[in-house]
Structure 1
Amino acid sequence: MVTSATQVLFPERIYQCEANIQLIAAHPEQGCYVVTDRTPFHPVSHIWPDHPADRGTVVLESQVHEVVDCLVGAVEQESGQLYVGADIPVKRDEPGWVFVVVHHLAESIESSVGTKATLNVDEQYQLALSRGHSGGHLSSLALNKVLHHDFWRKDASRKDELGHYDFHSYAQTESRVTEDCSTDTYRIGKTLRKRGLNAADMIAALPTIADQINQQLAAWCEAGFPVDMRREGEALTDSRYWRCDLQEGVVVEIPCGGTHVTSLAEYAALRVEFQLINEQELVMITHSQPA
């Protein structure tokens, strides 16, 4: 059986599906890897692992198996060899290869290729991650907006989707999504200062900046703007974009492969706090409260 690229269902908020097993491989330490033709599970990215893997179960012949991890894999079609996570040797769209979602089961299974399985995602966990991830996009946009007029002395060439100087893109070194939370780490180095950021003024004004961001987030959440995911295809590696019209003159569209809310009405509140590690490292934590 030739393995096909996994059809992913998580952008549509589908939490359960029937699927056919395409490939089973032994895990190097415990359990096994299972690849199906489609899945509602979101895998952790091997390139930018900011969004954790979904949790859930795979049911095979009435037996429930825990999914202990969910990863990105690539299959060389000629040999049928599966490579997982950091071991993937090619980029997406490499001829002769397909990218798949790999479900790591806690124990080995005796099922064969072609067997039907029922895949169940932990809905509440995925929703909490979705709120955290969309909240991170919103807080980064609000941060750029607040900094735009008062903390740049030059016309920085890079702008965000709303036309504001893109501090977030320039400075971000790490991002991490957890349940109802997003954590962004920024480096405020010499390069950013040369681009025109008044870093010392910004650091001194962090409490005021946080207040202004939180006011903006409150206004967006109260408006309850819808969010959708634009997809260029159904495969795991097809590009996906987070889209939201914040009534700021243009529809925001951010490339993103994570899971997300469908409306800002899903938030009772969004707020940020800053942690200044030193003069060159700043952390912004975005907390979400479900409606």
Structure 2
Amino acid sequence: MNVTPTITQFCHQTWQLNAQVQLTQVADDKCYIVTDKTPFHPVSHIWPDHPADKGSITINGCSHDVIDCLVGAVELTSNTLYVDEAIPVKRDQEGWVFVVVHVVEAEKAVVCAGDSVELTVNKAYQQALSRGHSAGHLALLALNKILTVHGYWRKDAERKDPLGHYDFNNYAQETSTVSENHCLDTYRLGKTLRKRGLNSADVITDLDKIENLINQQVNEWLANGSAVIMQCDGECLTDSRYWRCDLSRDESVVIPCGGTHVDSLTEITKIIITLREVEANYIEMQTDVN
């Protein structure tokens, strides 16, 4: 059976659909199942900030837990599937297609290419991740804005965010982790960032002040209740996707993002952001949806 790129539906508020199995592979007591389309969001093998969806796959009337959901790449000439960190090529490599891989316990799954299956995402879990991820976007935009507007940069920085503020997040972010109603970002305030113009010592000294200003800004944006639109350049996993939101009358944002998100900021009642210094030259921003 010819394998085609997985048609993704995780940006379309779709939690259940019927699909056709294109390929299966068993390894390490796990069965990897690739279907022609899916509502499941896989964890990225490149930037694994957003966890895999949870849910189930129904095969011949029997429901099986999807214990993981990963990115895969299929070499078309050999019909060989490479999963997660084993993927040897970049996306859009000629002769390869990228797919979503549903992982179930091998001993419990009897499935073949061509079979019809039903895929069901744990809606509550995905929505909790979506709230955490969208809140994280608001927090980083507010952090960039506060550091710019309140004079924590002493010279012009080349990188700007979608609102035109110096992109501290892009310069300094080392890790980002989304979880249910939560996002945690870590930043390094090192020598390079100081050379670029950030007054790092003042940022550390004023963390409480900056935290208060960020919370005020984020919750002002929330009060507008704007729609969130996921713009997809295509329906395949490797096609670009963008988070779009009009935060206020004069603040429209477009951010490249492959995660799942809320449909509207009205789905988030309140956001609480906490800044802390975790070690010398490192700070954390914890974003919680209340």
Same fold by TM (over 0.5)?
A: yes
1:230 is matched with 231
AA at the equivalent of 1:66: D
1:97 aligns with 2:105: no
1:3 is matched with 3
Deviation at 1:30, TM superposition (A): 1.8
1:145 aligns with 2:140: no
1:78 is matched with 77
Distance in 1 (CA, whole Å) between partners of 2:221 and 2:188 is 27
Are the aligned partners of 1:162 and 1:248 in contact in 2 as well (CA < 8 Å)? Answer: no
Deviation at 1:110, TM superposition (A): 2.2
AA at the equivalent of 2:7: Q
Deviation at 1:251, TM superposition (A): 2.2
What is the aligned-residue identity percentage?
53
1:183 is matched with 184
1:126 is matched with 126
CA deviations on 1:76-100 (whole Å, 9 max, x unpaired) are 0110000000000000000010000
Greater alpha carbon shift after TM alignment, 74-83 vs 275-284: 275-284
What secondary structure is seen at the aligned counterpart in 1 of 2:42?
coil
* Count of aligned positions: 288
**RMSD of Structure 2 on Structure 1 (CA):** 0.9
What secondary structure is seen at the aligned counterpart in 2 of 1:238?
coil
Describe the shift of the 1:222–1:250 C-alpha distance in structure 2 as closer, same or farther (beyond 3 A). closer
TM-score (norm 2): 0.98
What secondary structure is seen at the aligned counterpart in 1 of 2:234?
coil
Deviation at 1:271, TM superposition (A): 1.5
CA deviations on 1:129-171 (whole Å, 9 max, x unpaired) are 0000111110000001111032010011111000001111100
Deviation at 1:248, TM superposition (A): 5.5
Distance in 1 (CA, whole Å) between partners of 2:77 and 2:252 is 43
AA at the equivalent of 1:115: D
AA at the equivalent of 1:113: A
AA at the equivalent of 1:117: V
Are the aligned partners of 1:44 and 1:53 in contact in 2 as well (CA < 8 Å)? Answer: yes
2:156 is matched with 155
Describe the shift of the 1:185–1:220 C-alpha distance in structure 2 as closer, same or farther (beyond 3 A). same
User: Which structure 1 segments of 5+ residues have no match?
Assistant: none
Distance in 2 (CA, whole Å) between partners of 1:279 and 1:199 is 11
AA at the equivalent of 1:136: G
1:213 is matched with 214
Distance in 1 (CA, whole Å) between partners of 2:172 and 2:99 is 32
Deviation at 1:106, TM superposition (A): 2.0
TM-score (norm 1): 0.97
CA deviations on 1:19-39 (whole Å, 9 max, x unpaired) are 000001002x22300000000
1:265 is matched with 266
1:115 aligns with 2:115: yes
Distance in 1 (CA, whole Å) between partners of 2:154 and 2:254 is 27
What secondary structure is seen at the aligned counterpart in 1 of 2:269?
strand
Are the aligned partners of 1:15 and 1:121 in contact in 2 as well (CA < 8 Å)? Answer: yes
What secondary structure is seen at the aligned counterpart in 1 of 2:255?
strand
Deviation at 1:111, TM superposition (A): 2.1
Describe the shift of the 1:111–1:278 C-alpha distance in structure 2 as closer, same or farther (beyond 3 A). closer
Distance in 2 (CA, whole Å) between partners of 1:247 and 1:260 is 19
CA deviations on 1:102-147 (whole Å, 9 max, x unpaired) are 0000234222211100000000000000000111110000001111
Are the aligned partners of 1:65 and 1:107 in contact in 2 as well (CA < 8 Å)? Answer: no
Distance in 2 (CA, whole Å) between partners of 1:132 and 1:115 is 35
What secondary structure is seen at the aligned counterpart in 1 of 2:270?
strand
Distance in 2 (CA, whole Å) between partners of 1:24 and 1:81 is 10
Distance in 2 (CA, whole Å) between partners of 1:272 and 1:279 is 21
AA at the equivalent of 2:62: Q
Distance in 1 (CA, whole Å) between partners of 2:6 and 2:205 is 49
CA deviations on 1:21-80 (whole Å, 9 max, x unpaired) are 0001002x2230000000000000000000000000000111011100000000001100
Deviation at 1:278, TM superposition (A): 2.1
User: Which structure 2 segments of 5+ residues have no match?
Assistant: none
2:19 is matched with 19
